[in-house]
């Protein structure tokens, strides 16, 4: 049997994607060399972006699998090396050029951006805002969308655990590659602090952290970006409006009227920041009785509708109640294990409601606000 050609091996390597950047390693300049022995022994030299790359075993496995599948290959060895500073700078420049994003620029703030950005807000903590965020993200990714999540709750970060993200970001020069889980790219301050240490920062530091999450992280071409905000109307909510003016608010509340009042307050920040409100989600709406078809309204009823009605009056435009998510113990369990309910049991009542909301938000057309129409007055 004839040994494979270098060209055939290069073509096979072109099918291997970097697990963090999600582009072929051949396009990223990561293939250092290809050597073929007379008896079909293949040695592939691969550049890692940084020393100690956490994805080196995955890259080695993918390269081995792709090359081993070629006719005439008897063995595959992958020799790893590390890119020089110049090579990393060239790769960074290439990635920024391909995405049309200049250094330190927030791609989602550009007028022509087609990424739908949703800032998930609540008036108070404990309403399940993060649980809703991660399940919506997983549902959208399961539907084939490219999705990212920014854990903007700097003090109370929880998204990595709830999505099962155990990887850490990789830095290529001044560009950060976010880890992913269940098809969702994630960035969180929790990935940068050790041993669950508290973050003790004031406003300017919070703003800078969010700015880096949005501008220094290489998100690629996202369909949807979800931002899990801290509860209330503090520094981060204001920073989001400044950094990504096109971000729309998703207000999460529970049926309890005390929760609804503060949720409405969190939503009306849009009046001052000139943002749109995509809708209201009522979480923990009721408990389906395990023995009959009755609904047990543990936290009362009507809170979600009250918030939607109040925001409609305040904003002067319809603010819909997007869905009422019932209580399900598995939502909590999924948050603890890093496996969202929407993936484990899509037919569960809570998962079905969340999937419906995700479908509605994921296919929603972007408005023309802030975008250039490319029109000019006709000449006379």
Segment 213-263, tens digit of pLDDT:
898 898 988 999 999 998 887 788 888 888 999 999 999 999 988 888 888
> What pLDDT was estimated at residue 166?
84
> What pLDDT was estimated at residue 380?
40
Checking if the pLDDT of 365 tops 60, the result is no
Segment 144-160, tens digit of pLDDT:
999 999 999 888 889 99
Q: For residue 26, what are the contacts with CB-CB under 8 A and spacing of at least 6?
A: 10, 13, 14, 16
> By CB neighbour count within 10 A (0-12 exposed, 13-18 middle, 19+ buried), where does 316 fall?
exposed
Q: For residue 375, what are the contacts with CB-CB under 8 A and spacing of at least 6?
A: none
> Which span out of 86-90, 198-202, 208-212 was modeled with the highest average pLDDT?
208-212
Residue at 377 is within a domain: no
Q: Do 22 and 169 lie in a common domain?
A: no
**H-type alpha helices, the chain:** 6-13, 56-68, 85-99, 129-142, 159-163, 203-215, 235-243, 257-267, 269-273, 303-315, 329-337, 341-344, 349-362
The CATH number given to whatever domain includes residue 143 is 3.40.50.300
> What pLDDT was estimated at residue 45?
94
Q: Do 78 and 111 lie in a common domain?
A: no
Q: Do 79 and 114 lie in a common domain?
A: no
- Closest C-alpha to 9, from 89, 63, 57, 55: 63
Checking if the pLDDT of 370 tops 60, the result is no
Q: Do 76 and 135 lie in a common domain?
A: no
Q: Which two tokens stand for residue 333?
A: 């369990």
> What pLDDT was estimated at residue 35?
93
> What pLDDT was estimated at residue 366?
53
Q: For residue 93, what are the contacts with CB-CB under 8 A and spacing of at least 6?
A: none
Distance CA 254, CA 39 (A): 67
Checking if the pLDDT of 369 tops 50, the result is no
Q: How confident is the model at residue 379 (pLDDT cuts 50, 70, 90)?
A: very low
HEC string of 72-95 equals CCCEEEEEEEECCHHHHHHHHHHH
> What's the helix, strand, coil split of the chain in %, to 5?
35, 20, 45
Q: How confident is the model at residue 373 (pLDDT cuts 50, 70, 90)?
A: very low
Q: How confident is the model at residue 31 (pLDDT cuts 50, 70, 90)?
A: very high
Distance CA 143, CA 146 (A): 9
**Integer CA distances (angstroms), 360 to 19, 36, 256, 353, in order:** 29, 52, 25, 11
Residue at 370 is within a domain: no
Could you tell me the residue range of the domain that residue 30 belongs to?
6-83
Instruction: Report residue 58 CA to chain centroid gap.
Output: 21
> What pLDDT was estimated at residue 364?
64
Q: How confident is the model at residue 34 (pLDDT cuts 50, 70, 90)?
A: very high
Q: Do 341 and 196 lie in a common domain?
A: yes
Q: Do 226 and 181 lie in a common domain?
A: yes
Distance CA 262, CA 124 (A): 7
Query: What is the rounded average pLDDT of the residues 181-192?
Result: 91
> What pLDDT was estimated at residue 20?
80
Residue 272 sits at the vertex; the CA angle it makes with 271 and 273, to the nearest 5 degrees, is 95
Residue at 90 is within a domain: no
Residue appearing with tokens 């802030």: 370
- Closest C-alpha to 191, from 222, 211, 215, 217: 217
Distance CA 221, CA 223 (A): 7
Distance CA 87, CA 90 (A): 5
Residue at 117 is within a domain: yes
Q: Do 66 and 117 lie in a common domain?
A: no
Q: Do 121 and 63 lie in a common domain?
A: no
Distance CA 127, CA 136 (A): 15
How many other β-carbons are positioned within 10 Å of the β-carbon of residue 189? 20
Checking if the pLDDT of 371 tops 60, the result is no
Rounded to 5 degrees, what are φ and ψ at 308?
-60, -45
Q: For residue 347, what are the contacts with CB-CB under 8 A and spacing of at least 6?
A: none
Segment 111-130, tens digit of pLDDT:
888 999 999 998 888 899 99
Segment 44-89, tens digit of pLDDT:
999 998 877 778 899 999 999 999 999 999 999 999 998 888 888 8
Residue at 253 is within a domain: yes
Q: How confident is the model at residue 198 (pLDDT cuts 50, 70, 90)?
A: confident
How many structural domains comprise the chain?
A: 2
Residue at 376 is within a domain: no
Name the residue with higher pLDDT: 261 or 196: 261
Residue at 140 is within a domain: yes
> What pLDDT was estimated at residue 101?
59
The CATH number given to whatever domain includes residue 29 is 3.30.300.130
Q: Which two tokens stand for residue 222?
A: 């996202």
Q: How far apart are the first and last CA of the chain?
A: 74
pTM for the whole thing?
0.76
Q: How confident is the model at residue 100 (pLDDT cuts 50, 70, 90)?
A: low
Q: Do 219 and 348 lie in a common domain?
A: yes
Segment 281-340, tens digit of pLDDT:
999 998 887 777 788 888 888 899 999 999 999 889 999 999 999 999 899 899 899 999
Q: Do 220 and 355 lie in a common domain?
A: yes
Q: Do 218 and 121 lie in a common domain?
A: yes
Instruction: Report residue 194 CA to chain centroid gap.
Output: 22
Residue at 101 is within a domain: no
Q: Do 259 and 347 lie in a common domain?
A: yes
The mean pLDDT value of the chain amounts to: 86
């Amino acid at each position: 049997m004839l040994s494979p050609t270098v060209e055939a091996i290069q073509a096979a390597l072109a099918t291997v994607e970097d697990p963090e950047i999600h582009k072929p390693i051949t396009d990223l300049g990561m293939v250092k060399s290809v050597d073929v022995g007379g008896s079909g022994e293949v040695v592939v030299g691969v550049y890692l972006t940084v020393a100690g790359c956490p994805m080196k075993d995955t890259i080695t496995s993918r390269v081995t699998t792709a090359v081993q599948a070629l006719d005439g290959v008897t063995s595959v060895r992958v020799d790893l090396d590390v890119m020089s500073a110049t090579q990393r700078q060239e790769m960074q420049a290439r990635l920024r050029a391909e995405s049309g994003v200049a250094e330190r620029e927030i791609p989602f703030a550009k007028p022509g951006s087609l990424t739908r950005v949703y800032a998930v807000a609540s008036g108070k903590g404990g309403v399940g805002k993060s649980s809703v965020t991660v399940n919506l993200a997983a549902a959208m990714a399961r539907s084939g969308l490219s999705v990212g999540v920014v854990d903007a709750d700097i003090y109370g970060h929880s998204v990595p655990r709830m999505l099962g993200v155990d990887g850490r970001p990789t830095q290529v020069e001044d560009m950060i590659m976010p880890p992913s889980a269940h098809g969702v790219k994630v960035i969180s301050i929790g990935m940068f602090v050790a041993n669950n240490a508290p973050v003790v920062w004031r406003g300017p530091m919070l703003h800078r952290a969010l700015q880096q999450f949005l501008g220094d992280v290489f998100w690629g071409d996202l369909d949807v970006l979800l931002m899990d905000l801290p509860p209330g109307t503090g520094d981060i909510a204001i920073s989001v409006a400044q950094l990504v003016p096109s971000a729309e608010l998703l207000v999460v509340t529970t049926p309890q009227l005390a929760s609804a009042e503060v949720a409405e307050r969190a939503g009306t920040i849009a009046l001052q920041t000139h943002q749109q409100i995509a809708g209201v989600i009522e979480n923990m709406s009721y408990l389906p009785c395990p023995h009959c078809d009755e609904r047990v309204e543990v936290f009362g009823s009507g809170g979600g509708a009250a918030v939607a009605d109040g925001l409609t009056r305040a904003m002067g435009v319809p603010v819909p109640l997007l869905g009422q998510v019932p209580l399900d113990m598995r939502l909590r369990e999924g948050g603890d294990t890093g496996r969202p309910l929407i993936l484990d049991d899509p037919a569960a009542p809570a998962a079905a409601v969340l999937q419906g909301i995700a479908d509605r938000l994921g296919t929603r057309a972007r408005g023309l606000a802030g975008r250039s129409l490319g029109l000019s007055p006709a000449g006379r």
